[in-house]
Chain A
Amino acid sequence: MQTRYLIAGSSHAALSALHAIRMADADGGVTLVTRDARLPYSPTVLPYVVSGRSDPGRVFLRDEEYFRAHKVDYLPGVALAALRPQDQTAVLADGRTVCYEKLLLATGATPVIPTVEGLSGVPYHVLRTLDDAVGLHQAMSGVREALVLGGGLIGMHAAENLARTGAKVTVIEAEAHVLSAYFDADASGIIEAAFSANGVDLHLASRAVSASRDERGRIRLTLGNGHSPAGDLLLVATGVAPAIGYVNGCGIQCDQGILVDERMRTSADDVWAAGDVAQARDFFGNARVLNGILPDAVEQGRIAGMQMAGDQAAKDYAGGVPLNTYSFFGKQALSVGTDGRGFADAEVHKSFDPQTGRYLKIVMREDRLLGIFSIDRWIDAGVMWELILRRTDLGPVKAQFLADPQRAARVLMSKTWR
């Protein structure tokens, strides 16, 4: 097979790149291969499939008609097996080879299974594919006790879903707090309190040492802290890693993920990477980091697609900014930017109202916004992200910003880039 553009992957980064390519090049041949046999969907929607809120038949981001209309040769259920960048050739899992002019690697991530003695001997769930989600949704009914290994977004969403069905849920998290990648100890504390109030048992700073079946057939985990909770269902949600087995030995430089420059180019000519596989520059420092969040996948995919199609308007990647949104038990948590770790001169403004449970933390440095975090207090995350990226001088409006960041940010937006 021959194609002008080969895209490997079918989630946000891949679809965003495809969109950008078609904006600049309406006709160049595009082939999209993806290991998933389903139509494109987002891993982010899966917790809602688990909870039953999303109909698994209605979560697809594109349909066959979209690919037809955009002249895309769409090949689901075919993974990338190997690469020969020097020949501009990709080998697919079914043995076919594809010769490409430009290649995008956006193959996403797969769950990391921790080393726990006996884990392979007990049944457990992971949550990364639509099949996983449908399976977990079905398995949830009738569960009275559940174990969730990992207090990240996937684990916490699942724990809430399970708790809402009436199950007794235990969450085991290795870090001192849940969701520590996005929230500081105070915010995580508020989240943890909500879970505890809803009957979820949290074991923080704890690791599972071993797993086994107990005498009643239940799964029992033995923790480093001496506890040994048991459940009818175990979800392993201890994180994900880039799904990049196909790069082994092909010469493309990798670290934790595929290393890319500010234009999402890999070390090989005519090969780009975006999304969960890409290790790209950090906005706040010089290191290259994995920033596995949906909005960044969209941004990286767009930049890669524009570069691949030779779009004159292509700009450099500004760098990854950690950010997320998280709803739990009817509350909204938002995080945009860094909490100031690594900046000795960062100033932190915090407020917490125990009555309402509202939390706000603003981190600034030299009158520029570094990060903003809130619980049950609305801030426009997209506007805040833009203020960080633009390094907008907040000096003249600092008092207003600290008092009412949403309003001040909206005024700045309207004055600056509306």
Chain B
Amino acid sequence: MGAYSTISFDAPKCDGCNDCMLACAQAKSGTDEIARSRIEVLKSNGSFELAMCRQCGDPRCVQNCPAAALEKNDATGVIDWDETKCVDCLLCTVGCTYAGIAYDRAAGHVTKCDLCDGDPACVKACKPGALRYVTTARIYNEVGQLEDLFAPGLSGCQGCNTELLMRHTLRRVGPDTVLATPPGCVPGMGSVGYNGQTGTKVPVFHPLLTNTASMLAGVRRFYKRKGRDVTAMALAGDGGTADVGFQSLSGAAERGEEILYITVDNEGYMNTGMQRSGCTPYGAWTSTTPVGERGQGKTQDAKNMPLVMMMHNCAYVATASTGFMEDLYEKLDRAIAASKRGFAYLHVYSPCTTGWRFPSQQNIEVARKAVETNFVVLWEFDPKNGVRLTRPVDHPLPLAEYVTMMGKFRHLSGEQLEHIQASVDKHAAFISRLAGERDAQMIRHLAANRTAA
């Protein structure tokens, strides 16, 4: 049994239009009567509530059926109903605490959601995007089958999400990979190995902080000349990327070297004692931007590394977060493909339990809040399509909800918070402007005019 796709309901996005119910009634009952829909959205005190089949993993309706008419389909995850076996006893409805299976008087039998064979009509009809067909299952079902190419027992700090990132990305990229991990947390937690043995099941090397991209460029060119399709991949920290390794990185990107370069951005040199980097945000405590009588954390804004890389006109540039794995996976797939024709750059925001000082079980929540406050904006770029927001945040949370989660911002004054909020808003507006259709439209317009002339 694997994981399955499911319909998710984001109530704040619902506007109560009932199009989902109409679409369901039409698709499943051939009528416009929304009372015969198998999904019901209920308005209550200005909010919206939902009743529908959850396709439970351990369904009580199935166990309650005396006629073996209900069955959890192992392949699709749908609880299938067999009309030829059903005896209309209604005992399934007693077992369901979600009102997911109910009697349809006009049909003369119980009805329930069957996910429309994987293409739910209600989701397609939902204009505000409150209903989504969530396919997280792909990560579990597909990637779960791929080989984990890191050794067991990586020695990261408790609660570190970098191990998650390392195992997931290398699994997806696959065994035909040469991996570079310049000094930082990634080799620090054991990827380069000990005593002559590597921590990976693929060739891994430990370049200097300064030459990661140039060494990888050579590796990729070598294998290409030998006729082997090998992914040249870097897992580097933000310091090794934005500061020390920038010269070689910029050069490789400008030359269009076929490299998959992944930055694990924990906003500082966390492995060596939490010193500031070019990616450390304004106001943040680090061991070199201390907080005391005079200092109140970093006094400069962070360098926006992914935007810098975008301006190199790389084959692919994207930001990602371990708080949104589906988004990360989609970008990883596109980055891998792009790395076969040019430079692909993936910038992953990676909260650091130790250096940022928050409880070890909070990592994913911190990552999620960063996106929900627009502190981190998830977007992608390729030269043909320009910038696209992959997870636009329509109603961002106040930044205070993010910065109060961790110790490195504990000292922030109201003015400092205002400064960061202003930077966040400005950055979000800037990316949104980049993501507007206008550039792409203009370029097409110009191209069309040229052809006409």
B89 with A59: CB separation less than 8 A: no
Partner of B64, one of A294, A334, A378, A418: A294
Cβ of A348 within 8 Å of any chain B Cβ, yes or no, is no
**Does B303 count as interface, using CB distance less than 8 angstroms?**
no
Q: Is the CB of B96 within 8 A of A407?
A: no
**Do B49 and A411 touch across chains, with their CB atoms under 8 A apart?**
yes
Q: Which residue from B68, B93, B98, B108 sits with its C-beta under 8 Å from A413?
A: B98
Contact A44 B66 (CB under 8 A): yes
Query: In the bound complex, do residue B103 and residue A298 qualify as a contact, i.e. CB atoms below 8 Å apart?
Result: no
| Chain A residues whose C-beta falls within 8 Å of the C-beta of B99 in the assembled complex | 380, 382-383, 406, 409-410, 413
Scan residues 371-414 of chain A and give those whose CB is less than 8 A from a CB of chain B: 378, 380-383, 385-386, 406-407, 409-411, 413-414
Residues of A32-71 at the interface with B, using a CB-CB cut-off of 8 Å, are 41-45, 48, 53-54, 58-61
Judge whether A42 and B93 touch: CB under 8 Å.
no
The contact size tier of chain B is: 20 to 34
Instruction: Considering the complex, give the chain B residue whose CB is closest to the CB of A19.
Output: B63
**A387's closest neighbor in chain B, by CB?**
B97
- Interface membership of A295, Cβ < 8 A: yes
Does A222 make an interface contact (CB < 8 A)? no
Contact between A382 and B58, CB atoms less than 8 A apart: no
Q: B66: which of A45, A383, A409 is its contact (CB, 8 Å)?
A: A45
- Interface SS majority for chain A: helix
Q: Which of A19, A45, A417 has the most CB of B within 10 A?
A: A45
Q: Chain B residues near A58 (CB, 8 Å)?
A: 68, 84-85
The answer to whether B193 has its CB under 8 Å from any CB of chain A is: no
- A69–B67 Cα distance when bound, in Å, is 21
Q: Are B97 and A413 in contact (CB under 8 A)?
A: yes
Q: Count of A-B contacts with CB under 8 A?
A: 115
Q: Is B364 an interface residue when CB atoms closer than 8 A count as contact?
A: no
Any chain A CB within 8 A of the CB of B428? no
B166 within 8 A of A: no
Shortest beta-carbon distance, B74 to chain A, in Å? 11
Question: What residues of B have a CB within 8 angstroms of the CB of A43 in the complex?
Answer: 66
Q: Which residues of A contact B94 (CB under 8 A)?
A: 295, 323, 325, 336, 381-382, 385
Q: How many positions in chain A have a CB within 8 Å of any CB in the partner chain?
A: 45
| Structural contact, A418 and B98, CB atoms closer than 8 A | yes
Roughly how many angstroms separate A41 CA and B65 CA in the complex, as a whole number?
10
Q: Does A266 count as interface, using CB distance less than 8 angstroms?
A: no
Q: B91's contact among A23, A44, A53, A60, by CB below 8 Å, is which?
A: A44
Q: B42 is contacted by which of A23, A45, A298, A411 (Cβ under 8 Å)?
A: A411
Nearest CB of chain A from residue B197's CB, rounded to whole Å: 34
Q: Which of B81-122 contact A (CB under 8 A)?
A: 84-85, 87-91, 93-99, 102-103, 105, 108
Which residues from chain A sit less than 8 Å from chain B, CB to CB?
Answer: 12, 15-16, 19, 23, 41-45, 48, 53-54, 58-61, 294-295, 298, 302, 323, 325, 327, 330, 332, 334, 336, 378, 380-383, 385-386, 406-407, 409-411, 413-415, 417-418
Known: A294-B64, A298-B60. 11 other contacts (CB 8 A): A19-B58, A45-B66, A54-B85, A295-B64, A295-B91, A325-B90, A382-B96, A382-B98, A382-B99, A413-B99, A415-B49
17 contacts between A and B (CB under 8 A): A44-B91, A48-B89, A54-B87, A294-B66, A298-B60, A302-B63, A327-B89, A332-B90, A336-B94, A378-B102, A380-B51, A380-B99, A381-B90, A382-B96, A382-B98, A383-B99, A410-B99
